[in-house]
Amino acid sequence: MPLTSIVILTRNGLDMTRRCVESIGRHTSRSYELIGVDNGSTDGTVEYWESLPNIKLIRNKDNIGFAAGNNQGMTVAAGDTIVLLNNDTVVTPGWLDCMLERLELDPTIGIIGPVSNNVAPIQRVAEVGYHTLSELDTFALQHHAKNRGAGFYAHRLIGFCMLFRQSLLDRIGGLDERFYPGNYEDDDFSIRTRISGKRLWVATDVFIHHEGQGTYRANKENYYMHSIFNAEQFRKKWNVGLSAFEIDRIGYNPSDIVYRETTFLPELHYVPFSRQRNTEWTAGGNP
């Protein structure tokens, strides 16, 4: 059976990570490997990762950021497909099966993302029928039954959960590490995917729970400050005719960039994987 590599980045937030990993164990019937990438946690998260069997674990002594950490995980991924999954998510019955079925059905799709409760409007379910996580699975199953097979092609996807083929990385490279510590690397990844000729799909029939900004809260960091900073990096990279504030607070049209670029040029659009320092490989070999 084809293997899916699930990459989860952590920087503290032990309870969130445990909930996420346990939900994967309950609700994932497909063959998968779990890759944990830790960015300098001090709250027992590393020890939790180390307690899990059959895990690939990368330990960074410092916070190298969302893009660089996920890139590390992807470089050791053995799967035909890869999921980048935030540690503040809780997956639900059939989550991976449904997305993989769509990916297998449609070769034009580059990336698939689910819908959720706490995410940008393009992937948000406005009214959810659960108030506690104990009610989540029932709601998700009902949501799937009502929306079985439904979805739509999107102009961008949010990076809380993204599924794609390993071959996409050969095509466009990894996440752009200029977007530190996080935000806009998912916009950039989506845009490069579209420029390369692949499409983005929102799987309306797959619902997963998302806390949202969980790592920022766990580390008492200013989400808004980082978001504006990376909006400026995004503006410069893609020559967007808006201010960083307008991009971040009001929004922009990703299709304007895609249609302007027209052709994927490796020298401009491919993002090579870097080799980060201050890293320990604690299971599964040496990257």
Confirm whether 151 is domain-assigned.
yes
**What would the mean pLDDT of 223-237 be, rounded to a whole number?**
92
Least confident of 31-40, 195-204, 216-225, 235-244: 216-225
Confirm whether 284 is domain-assigned.
no
Question: What is the DSSP code (8-state) at residue 155?
Answer: S
The count of structural domains within the chain is 1
The whole-angstrom separation of Cα 47 and Cα 45 is 5
Which ranges constitute the DSSP H helices of the chain?
A: 14-27, 45-51, 66-75, 95-105, 136-146, 166-172, 185-195, 214-218, 223-238, 244-245, 254-261, 266-269
Confirm whether 285 is domain-assigned.
no
**What would the mean pLDDT of 177-185 be, rounded to a whole number?**
95
Domain span holding position 61: 4-278
**What would the mean pLDDT of 76-93 be, rounded to a whole number?**
98
Cβ(182)–Cβ(160) below 8 Å? no
Q: What are phi and psi of 164, to 5 degrees?
A: -155, 165
Residue 280 binned pLDDT confidence (cut-offs 50, 70, 90): low
The whole-angstrom separation of Cα 122 and Cα 256 is 17
> CATH number, domain at 26?
3.90.550.10
Q: What are phi and psi of 201, to 5 degrees?
A: -130, 130
Cβ(143)–Cβ(124) below 8 Å? no
The whole-angstrom separation of Cα 264 and Cα 197 is 8
What pLDDT sits at residue 67? 97
Confirm whether 87 is domain-assigned.
yes
Cβ(138)–Cβ(130) below 8 Å? yes
Residues 73, 79, 81, 85, CA torsion sign: negative
DSSP for 112-154? EEEEESSS-GGGB-SS-S-SSGGGHHHHHHHHHHHTTT--EEE
How large is the C-alpha radius of gyration of the chain? Answer: 18
Confirm whether 283 is domain-assigned.
no
> pTM of the predicted model, to two decimals?
0.94
What pLDDT sits at residue 1? 73
What pLDDT sits at residue 224? 80
Confirm whether 287 is domain-assigned.
no
Is-cis flag, bond preceding 181, omega within 30? Answer: yes
Confirm whether 143 is domain-assigned.
yes
Cβ(161)–Cβ(123) below 8 Å? no
Rounded (5°) CA angle 110-95-103 = 25
Residues 248, 251, 255, 256, CA torsion sign: negative
* pLDDT value at 68 more than 70: yes
The per-residue pLDDT for range 94-110, each reduced to its tens digit, is 999 999 999 999 999 99
What pLDDT sits at residue 285? 36
Confirm whether 228 is domain-assigned.
yes
* pLDDT value at 287 more than 60: no
Residue 216 binned pLDDT confidence (cut-offs 50, 70, 90): low
- Residue-level length of the chain: 287
What pLDDT sits at residue 223? 74
Lookup: tokens for 108? 């034009």
Chain centroid offset of residue 118 CA:
14
